[in-house]
Structure 1
Amino acid sequence: MLRHLLIVLFFATNTAVFAFQAEEPKLSPTEEQAMEARLVAGLLSQYHYKKIPIDDKLSAIIYDSYIETLDANKHYFLASDMQELDRFKDRLDDHIKLGYLLPVYEIFNLFEQRFEERMNFVQNELSFDFDFTTDESIIVNSDSLKWASSKEELNDRWRKLIKSQALDLKLSEKADTAITRLLKERYKRLDETIGKYESRDVFQLYMNTFAESFDPHTSYFSPITSENFKIRMSQSLEGIGATLTTDGDFTKVASVVAGGPAFESKLINTDDKIVAVAQGPKGEFVDVIGWRLDDVVQLIRGPKGTLVRLKIIPAGKYVATTQASEIKIVRDKIKLEEQVPYSEVKEVYRDGNKYNIGIITIPSFYLDFEAMKKGEEYGSTTGDVKKIIAELKEKKVDGIVVDLRSNGGGSLQEAIDLSGLFIKKGPIVQIRNSDGSIEVGEDEDPEMVYDGPLAVLTNRFSASASEIFSGAIQDYNRGVIVGENTFGKGTVQNLISLNQFVPKVETELGQVKLTLAKYYRVNGSSTQHRGVKPDIKMPSPYNAENFGESSYKRAIEWDQIESSKFEKTNFLNEQIVSQLNKKHEDRLNNLEYLKSLKQDVDEAIMDQERTSISLNMEKRKAENEEALKRRNANNKLNEKISSDPDIKNKVNTDGEIKDPYLREGIVVLADLIALGIG
C-alpha cells in the first residue's frame, strides 16, 4: 500500500519523493476526504466574503500555516526537510481543488517521523544531569529562530528546552529524581497523544488550516470534531465554565462562558495556558503539559460545589519566562439565568460631593429566540437591563456604568435593542454583505429608557456585539467609554453543513464556519482590527499585535464606508472628554492604585518583549525573586489602598472596590456628573 502511494505521488508531482523507511504504515487520505476537500474549496471560493481566489499566492499561505501548525516553535523539522517540502508551496491550490491530499499526508508523516526522533532523544539519549552554573540562555521567541541545520543542532536546542523546564521544577524545590521522572512522563504522554493520530485527525488539521487561510474566523469542523465540541461545551457547563483548546503541548482557554465560575472569578481569561491541576484545597498539583485535551477536561471537571486549583500562565506571557500563578475556582453548573445582567450601587465622593453610581454588568448578549418565535415570554439582555434600569432609578442613582469587560458578544439584535435604551432612535450598525449590499440595523423605538450620565467599561476581550453597542454609544456622544481598546472583530460568520450540498451521501460530512459579512459603525468605520478606542484609556498589557483581531495574520482588513445619517446627542463633546482625560492623567500619575496598576502592566509588557532567558540557576532565581518582590510590593500597596480611609474616601465609602478598572470607571463617571453633564 505504502509503495503504491509513493509511486502515485512520484508521477503526480513529477519530482523525487521522500524515502520513508519506517516500518509502521503511514497515514493516508480516503476517497471521501478527497470529495470533501473539493467541496470545501468550492464553497469557500464561491461564498466567502472576500472572494479570495485559490491560486499560488493562497497556496503559499496555506503551506506556511500548515507547517506552523505542525511545528510552530521549529522543534522538529530540519532545514533540509524544509528545502524538500518547499516544492509543495505553490501546488497546494491545485491539489485541493482536485481533492488531491497525498502531499498533505506526506508532510504530516515526515513531521511524525521527526517527532518520534525527538521523543526518542528525550527518553533515551538526553542526559538529565544538567549543569545550572553555566552561563547560557534559551530563545523563547520562535520568530528569532531558524530551522536547525542538523540533528546535532536540534539535539542541543532540545537539551536547552528540557534544561529550562528542569530549572523551573528545581526552583519550585523538586528533587532531581522527581524532575527527571516528571519530564519523562510529560513527553511520554505527548508521544502517546501524537501516536493516536488517525487519518481523520490529519484531515481536520489541514482543512482547518486551509479554511483559516481565508480569514481566522473561517474554519472546518469534521463530524467528530463538531460532536466533541458540543460535548466539551456541555461539560464546561458543569465545571468551571470555560471551553478549552490545544495549543501545541499546552491546554489553552478558548473562551470563558458568561455567567460561569471562571467568568465570575475574573481570574482566568481567553488564551491563558493551564499547566497544572489540583483537586480540593490540599490536593497535589498534576502537571498537564502534553496531555490530551479530553484528559485535561476530565481533570478540571467535577461535582458542583467542589474546589479545583489551577496553575496558569496568563495570556501573552511565555511559559519559559513566567512563574505560573495559582488560582482557585469552585465548580458550579451554569444556568441561563446566571448569564443575565446584574447590578450594584456604589457611593463615590468627588470634590466634597457624594454620588450614587449604578453598575450594570452584562456577561453576554443573549436572546431566547425559540421562545420568541413561538410567541412565548422570552428572556433577553435588553429586557433584563430595562428592568435593572427601572430599579436603579428607584434608588435614585446619579449615573450608570455599563460593564462590558470580557463580554464576547452574542445576539446582534440585542446589541441594537440595548443601544436603543440609551438613545431616542436611529441607526446602530451597518452590515455589508459579500455582494456589496449594505443593511442598516436600526433602533426604531423613540423611547429613551435612561437619559442620565453614562459610562461604558471595555477591555481587550470585549468583542462583536459589545463593540457594536459601545461604538454606537460613542458615535452618538451618548456616554464615555473607559478601559482598554476592544478586540476588533468586525466580521459575521454562519455555520454551514456540507451535507446540504450532497444530499445523496449517506455518511455525515463536516461543517464549515464561513465569514459572510462585515460590521461597520454608524460613522462608517469598520470595527474590524480597530474595534472601539476608549475615550479614557486605562493601562493595558494587551497590545494589538499580540491580542485581538490584529494578532491574526489573515484577518480581513479595516476599511470605511459612507456614514449613516444619525443625530448626535449633546451629552459629550471633545472639550468634555479632554477635561475628563486631564483628571484621569492626574490620577494615573498621583494615585497609588493606578500607579500600582501601571507597574503591573509595564512588567507584563516587558515580559512579552523578552526573546531569551537565562539557564543559569542563580540568574533565573534572581529574576524570579525580583518579579516576586515587585508583586508583593504591589499586593501590600493594594491592601493599603483598600484599608486607608483617607485614600478610600476619595473614591468610595465602603473600600470594597479592589478592581482598579471598575474603580476608575466609577470615578470618571463621577467627574462627568460633577461637570453638570446629563
Structure 2
Amino acid sequence: MKNLCLALLWLTLVTPFHSRAQSFSKVAGEAFLVYRMIDKFHVEPRTLNDSFSHDLWFTMLKLADEDELFFSDDDITRLRAFESTLDDEIRNRRSAYISLFTSLFIQRLKQADSLVAVLCSSGNNTTGTQRVQPKPQTIKPVATPGSADITALRNRLQVYIKEQGSCSRLRRQINYILRNAATSAVAIGDLYCEAIARCFDPHTGYFPLSAKENFESQLGKQRFRFGFRIKEEKDDIFIEDLQPGSPAYKSGQLQKGDKIIQAQWSGNKTDAVSPTATEELNDLLRMSNHDTLLLRVRKANGSVIQVPLLKEQATDAEVENKVKSFVLKGQQTIGYIYLPTFYEDWDQGNIGLKGCANDVAREIVKLKKENITGLILDLRFNGGGSVQEAMELTGIFIDAGPVAQIKRKDPKPIVLYDVNRGTAFDGPLVVLVNSYSASASELVAAALQDYNRAVIVGTTTYGKATGQVMLPVDTTISLESPEPRPGASPDNNSYIKITMSKLFRVNGSSLQATGVIPSVIVKDSLVHIEREADEPFALKATTIAPNKYYKPYPVLPAIDARMINTTAAFTITNHEAEKSLLQSDAYGSQLNEAFKTLLASDTGVKAAYEVLQLLIKK
C-alpha cells in the first residue's frame, strides 16, 4: 500500500477546508455535474453506459484500496451489484452506491485500526506468507463468514507490515481517515468524483479548492510556501534548512536541526500529527494555503516550542532562479540552461513577461556575454505546464512560423504560431530529454526537431500530447467566460481539470503515447517508469494534415552515437551576473555548489557537450 492509497489520503487532507458538509445526496449531485462538465468539454467524451460503469467500478476500488488490503470478498460481492449500474446512479443522481461504499470502507478501516493496534503492540511484524496481488479485474467474489473476513484482514495486514517494515506508520495513516466520520464521508465522495474523471483519460481530474491552488502553483511562479526543507532520519523529521525571506525564516524561532515533533492546523485539533516520514508531513503541509500551521519542534537544547506559520506567496525575486544556467568551459565554451517546468504568471496579466520563456531568454543574454559557442537546453524531468510558454520558448530559437497544432472537438485544428521575427540564439543547440519529459517539454523538443533546429539527446519522452483546462464545477459556464455564474453558491469550491485538446506536430503526426524519439540515444540509469501508453484510459495517437506553412531549416549533420564521449572534460562556472548575486546569498551559494556537483557527474550533460563539439566542428 502506498501511504494508504495516496489518492484517498490526499483528498482526506484537503477536505477539512471544504466549507460545506456534503451529504450523500450532494455527492450524487456533484458526481452528476462532474460527468456533465467533462462530457461537455472533453476532446473525446465517453458515453455514460454499462462500459463506463464497469470502468468506474474498478477505478473506484483501485483508488480506495490499491493494495487490496481492506475490502473483504463479501464486500466485493455487495459492491459488485453496482458494477453495471453506476451509469444509472450518475444519470439519476442516486446515492445508494456511494453510501454503501463509504459504510463498508469505514467499517473495514475501523477493524484494520484495531488489528494494527494489536499487531503493533505485540511487535509481531514479520510473520505471514507473501501475498500475490491480483489485478482488480481478477477479483472473484466468494462469500465468507464475518469471522473469516476478520482473519483474512489480519493476515493481509500482517503480511503488508512485514513487507513495508513499518507498523506504526500504517496505523497513523488509517487514523488520518478515521478521526472524523464526516470528513471521511466527504473524502470518499471526492474520491468518487475523481474516479469518474479518471475514466475519461489519465489527466482529467477532480480538484477541491486547496488541491486546485497547489496544482496551479506548480505552473505559476508565485507559490505558497512556508520556506523550510525537511529531512528524515530513522523515524524522526528534522529541519534541513530555511529559505531566506520565507515565513519560516522570518519567524526567528526555527533553525536547521530542529526536530519536528508535531504539526497541526490552528482550530482543527483532530489533525495533530506527529510525523515520522517526510511524505506524511508533506501531505499535511499541502492541506491549505490560507490557514495557520502550529509547528511544535524540539530545539538542540531539549526545549520544546510551538511556532505559528502562515504560508506566503514567493515574490518574483525569490523565484527568479527557477531557470538555472551555467557555463561549461572546455575545448568549447558551452551554455547550459535547466528548465524544470513550463511556468507562467497566472494572475498578473503579464503574458510573455513573467513566464519561463522570457526567463530563458534573459539567461541566454547573460550566457552570450560569456562568448558561448553552443547551448544545451535541459528539459529532463520537465513534466510540462503552459503550452503558451512552450510555444514562446520555441520561438526563441526559430525565426517565426507554426510550431504545433491543436485539435479540440471542432473538426478544424488550431495552429500555434511563433509570430515574433528573429531569435535570441541561432547557434548550435542540443535539447536534453528523458522519459520524464512530458507535454509542453515534448512540444518544444518535437518542434525544434521538426525544424532541424536542434539535436535531441537522451531517451524517448513520456508521450503526453494532450492539453488540459481547469474549470469550476458549473455546467452553465462557457470557454469564453470560464467563471462561475453570478449568484452561484460560494460554497462550491470544486474544480475539474479537463482534457480539451490533443497536440500535434507541425508535420501532422502525434506525440500521444509515442513521445519524442531523440536523434542521439544516451541511456541513463533511471529505472523503467510507466509512460503515457501504459496509463489506464490513455488517449490513442492519431494524425492530422501537416501544416502547409511549415518550412524546416536545412538538415543537421548526422551524429553517430558511437562517437559520443561521455567523459568529456570541462569546468562548470556561473556567468558574471550570477556570481554577483551569489556573493550576498549564502543559501543560494550552497544550492549552486550542489547543482554544479551533480552536473559534473552527469553523463547526459557530457554527451550533450560532446554532440555540440561535433556540430561545431562540422
TM-score higher than 0.5: yes
Does residue 357 (structure 1) correspond to residue 334 (structure 2)? The answer is yes
Q: Does 2:324 match 1:378?
A: no
Kindly tell me: are residues 42 and 379 of structure 1, through their superposed partners in 2, closer, same or farther at Cα, counting changes over 3 Å?
A: closer
Q: Deviations over 1:527-554 (max 9, x none)?
A: 222222222333346567x434234212
1:62 Cα deviation (Å)? 0.5
Residues 189 and 290, structure 1, Cα contact 8 Å, conserved in 2: no
1:453, 1:677 within 8 Å by CA — same for their partners in 2?
no
Q: Secondary structure at the match of 2:90?
A: helix
Q: 1:62 to 1:498 in 2, by over 3 A?
A: same
The answer as to whether partners of 2:125 and 2:158 remain within 8 angstroms in 1 is no
2:65 maps to which residue? 71
**2:195 pairs with 1:203:** no
AA of the residue aligned to 1:549 = E
Give distance in 2, aligned partners of 1:227 and 1:569: 41
Amino acid at match of 2:187: D
Kept in 1, the 8 Å contact 2:27–2:189? The answer is: yes
1:420-431 → structure 2 map (5 Å cutoff): 420-431=395-406
Q: Is the 8 A contact 2:323 2:337 kept in 1?
A: yes
1:673 is the counterpart of 2:613:
yes
Superposed displacement of residue 223, structure 1: 5.4
What does residue 336 of structure 1 align with?
A: 316
Question: Which is further off, 37-46 or 655-664?
Answer: 655-664
For residues 569-624 of structure 1, the C-alpha deviation after alignment (integer angstroms, 9 at most, x for no partner) is 23525xx13x1x1123x75xxx6xxxxxxxxxxxxxxxxxxxxxxxxxxxxxxxxx
Counterpart check, 1:157 vs 2:156 = yes
State the AA in 2 paired with 1:295. Answer: L
- The aligned counterpart of 2:199 is 213
In the alignment, the residues of structure 1 paired with residue 474 and residue 49 of structure 2 have an alpha-carbon distance, to the nearest angstrom, of 26
Q: Is 1:449 the equivalent of 2:428?
A: no
Structure having the larger proportion of residues in helix: 1
Kindly state the Cα deviation for residue 467 of structure 1 after the two structures are TM-superposed. Answer: 1.4
Indicate if the aligned counterparts of 1:425 and 1:445 stay in contact, CA closer than 8 A: yes
- Check the 8 A contact 2:177/2:184 in 1, yes or no: no
Q: Is the contact between residue 457 and residue 662 of structure 1 (CA under 8 Å) also seen in structure 2?
A: no
Q: CA deviation at 1:661?
A: 7.4
Tell me: CA distance 1:87–1:127, structure 2 relative to 1, closer, same or farther (3 Å).
same
Distance in 2 between residues matched to 1:407 and 1:582, nearest whole Å? 27
- What is the SS of the residue equivalent to 2:416? strand
- Please show how residues 59-208 of structure 1 align to structure 2 within 5 Å: 59-124=53-118, 128-130=122-124, 138-139=130-131, 143=135, 150-151=148-149, 152-165=151-164, 168=165, 182=168, 186=172, 189-190=175-176, 192-193=178-179, 195=181, 197-208=183-194
User: Percent same amino acid at aligned positions?
Assistant: 26
2:504 maps to which residue? 520
Could you report, residue by residue, the CA deviation over 1:234-274 in whole angstroms, capped at 9, with x for unpaired residues?
Answer: 885233589xxxxxxxxxxxxxxxxx98xxxxxxxxxxxxx
Question: 2:383 matched to which residue of 1?
Answer: 408
Cα deviation digits, residues 469-508 of structure 1 (max 9, x gap): 1111111121112223333221112222234627565453
Is 2:559 the counterpart of 1:559?
A: no
Tell me the CA shift for residue 126 of structure 1. 7.3
| Aligned equivalent of 2:532 | 549
2: CA distance, partners of 1:241 / 1:486: 30
The 1:358/1:108 distance shift into structure 2, 3 A limit, reads same
Paired residues in the alignment total: 507
Q: Deviation string for 1:38-61 (max 9, x for gaps)? A: 332222223211121011000000
TM (norm. structure 1) is: 0.65
1:441 is displaced (CA, Å) by 0.6
For residues 560 and 549 of structure 1, the distance between their equivalents in structure 2, rounded to whole angstroms, comes to: 17
Match of 1:539 among 505, 515, 523: 523
Unaligned 5+ segments in structure 1 are 1-26, 170-179, 243-259, 262-277, 309-330, 349-353, 592-649
Q: SS at 1:80's partner residue?
A: helix
- Matches of 1:369 and 1:654 in 2, distance apart? 34
Code of the aligned partner of 2:614: A
In structure 2, the partner of 1:664 is 604
Task: Give 1:108 shift.
Answer: 2.0
Over the aligned positions, Cα root-mean-square deviation in angstroms equals 4.2
Q: Find the counterpart in structure 1 of residue 394 from structure 2.
A: 419
Q: What letter matches 2:608 in structure 1? A: V
Tell me which residue corresponds to 2:18. Answer: none
Matches within 5 A, 1:457-472: 457-472=432-447
| Residues 526 and 558 in structure 1, CA contact (< 8 A), matched pair in contact too | yes
Which letter maps to 1:466? S
**Structure 1 pair 480/98, CA: closer, same or farther in 2 (3 Å)?**
same
Alpha-carbon contact 1:186-1:290 (below 8 Å) kept: no
Q: Could you tell me how far 1:188 is from its partner in structure 2?
A: 6.4
- Aligned match of 1:287: 276
Shift of 1:522: 1.4
Deviation by residue 1:288-308 (Cα, 9 ceiling, x = unmatched): 4995876355899999xx999
